[in-house]
Structure 1
Amino acid sequence: MAEVTAQEIFAGMKENFVQDAAKNIEATVVYVLQGDGGGTWTLRVHNNELSVDEGLQDGANATVTMAAKEFVKIALGQGNPVSAFMTGKIKIQGDPFLVQKFLSMFKKPNNI
């Protein structure tokens, strides 16, 4: 089985988006992933809809910086985001509680 990439996870985010978990949230979070398979993606929730754009978009409420491999582990449910944050593997500029809410808006990808 081929290794899952961050690109594949971001490509499937709309499909794994849980609209009910996004009620009353209007926010933008930028993910800056470093290392192999890295890149920058901007996720925006507006009117209960998700947009996912590759690259940096204006108006971020929070920016998450981490290794691409760590992101993949967390997205697949194989890593713990709280312990990764506490050990410095995840750095957040802006609202960390918003980032935590964003995590709850997605079911684990099973379409990869």
Structure 2
Amino acid sequence: MTTVSIQDLMDLLPNYFIPEQAKGMTARIGFDLGGEGGGFWTVVIENQTCRVSKEKIEPLDLTLAGDAGIVLDIFTGRLDAMRAYLMGKVKISGNMSLAMQLTGLFKPDKDQLRALGGKLD
């Protein structure tokens, strides 16, 4: 069985966005990811919408750096975001208040990810 890629996640991220959680929020969040499937993505949140671009869109309010697999584990619920940060698996720079809100802005659909042929457990 193949594994869901970080590109799969980034493509689906706008579908997992919870607009109600982003009232009044405007943010640019950079994901600087290494490892298999790594790259740079910018998540832009404004007017209770979310879009993802495969490029750096500055200025960034927050940058998360780490291995693509670790970030995928965080978004699919296999790894707690705070634990990953405290263990040094993810580096955060910029608006720490925004970083604390980040996981509450998205609710990934594990069934949808499994339908892509992804191994989540």
- Name the TM tier (shorter chain): over 0.9
Give structure 2 stretches of 5+ with no counterpart. 114-121
Q: Is the 8 A contact 1:9 1:109 kept in 2?
A: no
Paired AA for residue 82 in structure 1? M
Other structure's SS at 1:15 match:
helix
Shift of 1:60: 0.5
Partner residue of 1:56?
A: 56
2:37 & 2:100 partners in 1: Cα distance? Answer: 23
Q: Is the 8 A contact 1:35 1:68 kept in 2?
A: yes
Partner residue of 1:14?
A: 14
Instruction: Provide the aligned C-alpha RMSD in A.
Output: 1.0
- 1:76–1:91: structure 2 CA closer, same or farther, 3 Å change rule? same
Other structure's SS at 1:69 match:
helix
Q: TM-score, normalised by structure 2?
A: 0.88
Q: TM-score, normalised by structure 1?
A: 0.94
Partner residue of 1:102?
A: 102
Going by fraction, where is helix more abundant, 1 or 2? Answer: 2
Shift of 1:7: 0.3
Q: Is the 8 A contact 1:62 1:95 kept in 2?
A: yes
1:65-108 CA-partner distances (Å, limit 9, x unpaired): 01011011111100011011011111111012202212211102
Identity %: 26
Shift of 1:20: 0.5
Other structure's SS at 1:3 match:
coil
Paired AA for residue 34 in structure 1? G
Shift of 1:49: 1.1
Q: Is the 8 A contact 2:13 2:108 kept in 1?
A: no
Q: Is the 8 A contact 1:42 1:57 kept in 2?
A: yes
Segments ≥4 residues shifted beyond 6 Å: none
User: Is residue 39 of structure 2 the alignment partner of residue 32 of structure 1?
Assistant: no
Give structure 1 stretches of 5+ with no counterpart. none
Shift of 1:109: 3.0
How many residues are paired up? 112
Other structure's SS at 1:102 match:
helix
Partner residue of 2:74?
A: 74
Other structure's SS at 1:85 match:
helix
